[in-house]
Amino acid sequence: DVKVTQSSRYLVKRTGEKVFLECVQDMDHENMFWYRQDPGLGLRLIYFSYDVKMKEKGDIPEGYSVSREKKERFSLILESASTNQTSMYLCASSFVSSGNTIYFGEGSWLTVV
């Protein structure tokens, strides 16, 4: 089975802390994505990566950065967490050539206090 694993299911961090959210996939997918989900807003794309060391901004990149040093791992970084970054974060991955197969992790619930 394809597996997308997000390292932390629930996190509580303080304002101003640096936060790392890790995502690992085991299917050799080229594409990896980070989405943020908020009630009433659906899922919004933060960043995506289509290859190692390659990244593209999504719709809401402000306040976030990403790192993809290895193909299987895609990290989302909050340089200085703020309360408005309290949200659910979803990682996803897919092959470049696949039209309809995008796999999601179980999500990370981040609370910034």
Residues sharing a CB contact under 8 Å with residue 16, sequence separation 6 or more, in sequence order: 80, 81
Residues sharing a CB contact under 8 Å with residue 33, sequence separation 6 or more, in sequence order: 45, 47, 48, 49, 58, 74, 91, 92, 93, 102
90 binds another protein (CB under 8 A): yes
11 binds another protein (CB under 8 A): no
Q: Which is nearer to another protein, 7 or 15 (CB)?
A: 7
58 binds another protein (CB under 8 A): yes
Return the sign of the alpha-carbon dihedral for residues 58, 72, 78, 101.
positive
Residue from the set 12, 41, 52, 113 that interacts with another protein by CB under 8 A:
41
The footprint of another protein (CB under 8 A) covers 31, 33, 35, 40-45, 48, 50, 54, 56, 58, 88, 90, 92, 94, 96, 99-107, 109
